[in-house]
Every structure is written in structure tokens, then in C-alpha cells.
Amino acid sequence: MDDSLSMLQALATTPCRAAHHAPSLGETSTSVPHLEVVVSLPTRLAATASPPARGRIYRACGCRDNRRRLYGPRCPVLAADPEHGSWAFAVDLPSPDGKRSTCRRTGHPTREAAEEALGLLLTGENTGVYADPHLRTGDYLEEWLAARRTTLQPTTWAGYHDSVQRFLLPAFAGIRLVNLRSRHIQEWQQSQLALRGRPTVYRAGSTLRAALQAAVRARRLPYNPALHAIIKRPTAAERTCWSPAQAAAFLRHNHTFHADQLADLFEVMLGTGMRRGEVLGLHWADVHLMDRNLGGPSCGTPWSWVVPGGVGCC
Ligand SMILES: [Zn+2]
């Protein structure tokens, strides 16, 4: 980028080289007072909207000299072979001790990719947000899940894990996180609504929203593309409580016709009012038989027996 800019400046100040040159394909004509100056620019660079104002873009490779030192941008093969090496950027960043600190990143397939990465780095420097241009959404979601495992309730984490594995990774794993947009999420939701229930789609979408919000909080994304893209939470149907007679009939029916091995589990649910996820998420440490209650750190709410052998409500 800087090379092209300096070339532009050099040509603008040396009219004798350019004055007799007729414009051809891929060239830009620039008017300056009293002089028509023709500037040769690579077509693809001319098409770039606004390259970053700082730093420089160059090609580099991993070749080494006889003393095992990296050639970097000085490799002789780079000039002969346009496919050799990759695009890189370097930019000076302020450092706490006031000394010059140069940030270099190589491995970009094209000049435009290197410019984009440099632009993101400079935006990060200005705003405090650094969005890694290489990070895939799938890798981020896996990382987020692993980090939340110790801080979430086991049942909540299991729900997130299920949504990520079944719905989010198949849809978004390959998209770079910085390129994920609201329209991607909305299109995915519409396709999902044709296949499965609204609560399932909402649950997967709200998992994505929570994961991306964590990235915003960690200043790894400038904004959350899922924030306003997720469908509204479906309203739950109104629930009615079973009477003790209905609950007893349910248990008797299960026992008679299904030889139900989960009868104890159903009795606990009926006796305490615990939900399915809560009762399945119970650990032995949560079971306090002498205190007649269930609950603890992994369960959240303590649940007490209502009546021995009796029936709870809701
Ligand atoms: Zn080389």
C-alpha cells in the first residue's frame, strides 16, 4: 500500500515520465493544475475502497539464507515468482515504554486480505476491540462452550452444548466470526423454522446470541449480529396442575402397562414439582435425605418434599 502511495507521489512529481504516456487498461488518469499526469495502478488496488492509512503491505516468505536467517521480504525468489510466499503487513504501534514496537503478520493469501487484517488491527487500536480475522465461528463457539462449562449450571451448559453441536456448528462453523452478519442468522432461522419447532429454533438462536455477546464483552467483536436477529421467545402454553388422583392414576397406568423403571423419578417430580432438567441434573451431593430436601450448587434452587408419598403442584 505504502509502496503504491509513494509511487503515486513520485509519479505526480515527475511529469516528464508520465506526460507522453497514453492511458491504457488498468490505469487511472489524475488531473493536476496545468498538467495531465497518468498514474499506473494495479487494477485490483485501484478497486480497493479505502486501504488503511498506516502500516505497509508486502510479500514475504519462510526461506532462510546459509546462516539460517529468514529472508522475509528480501527473498530473491519473491521477485521472480508471483506465487512465492504470502502477503504480510507491518505497522508501528505505540508501546507503554515509548519505544517503537512493530507488529508484523504474514500468511495472507492476497494483498486485499492483508489490508483487511491491517484495517482490523488499526480499528482495534482505536476502539479497544480486536476482532481476529482468522477465527472461525465454529472454533469460537467450541472455545466459548469449554470456557463456560465450569461457570454454568450443568443443565444450562448441556442445553448450550446441544444447540451448538446440533444446530449452530452445521450452519456457521466455517464462517469467519468477523464476517457473521444478521442476515446469515435470519436466513438460517427461517430455514430451521420450516424443519422444527419454534421453541427449538429459539433456544439455538438465543445460545448463539449469548455466545456472541460474550465475544462483545471480551472486546473480540465490535457488535453482536444476533442481538436483534433472533425470533421472540415463544410463549409457553398455560399449565394446569394434576390433582392427587390424576397423579396416582398416571403412576398406576405406567406401572401396569409399561413396567415403568422410572417410576421413582416420576414420584420425585410429582412430590417436589421439579422440572425434567432439574431432576436429571441432580447430583448425589444435592440429595439431603435427613433434611428432606433436594438441591445444591449444581441444582440452583433447593426443593423440599411436600408430603411424604404425596403430590406436589406445578
Ligand atoms: Zn522465499
Low-confidence ranges of the chain (pLDDT < 70): 1-52, 296-314
Confirm if 218 and 151 have CB atoms less than 8 A apart: no
| Count of C-beta atoms within a 10 Å radius of residue 77 | 12
The pLDDT value recorded for residue 154 is 83
Site of grid cell 485501484 = 46
pTM (predicted TM-score)? 0.53
Residue with cell 461457570: 151
How many A from CA of 88 to the centre of ligand 1? 13
CA of 122 to the centre of ligand 1 (A): 28
Tally Cβ neighbours within 10 Å of residue 230.
19
Distance 63 CA to ligand 1 centre (A): 4
Specify the pLDDT at position 305: 52
Predicted local distance difference test score (pLDDT) of residue 30? 37
Q: Which domains can be identified in the chain, with CATH numbers?
A: 1-47 (no CATH), 52-128 (no CATH), 137-217 (1.10.150), 244-304 (no CATH)
Query: In angstroms, what is the span from residue 102 Cα to ligand 1's centroid?
Result: 22
- Residue 94 neighbours by CB under 8 Å, 6+ apart: 101
Residue with cell 436477529: 229
Of the chain, the end-to-end C-alpha distance in Å amounts to 67
Q: What is the pLDDT of residue 86?
A: 93
Q: 18 is written with which cell numbers?
A: 508520465
- 48 C-alpha to center of ligand 1: Å? 27
Q: What is the DSSP letter of 164?
A: I
Answer yes or no: are the C-beta atoms of 307 and 273 closer than 8 Å.
no
Specify the pLDDT at position 267.
87
Distance of CA 18 to the CA centre of its chain: 49
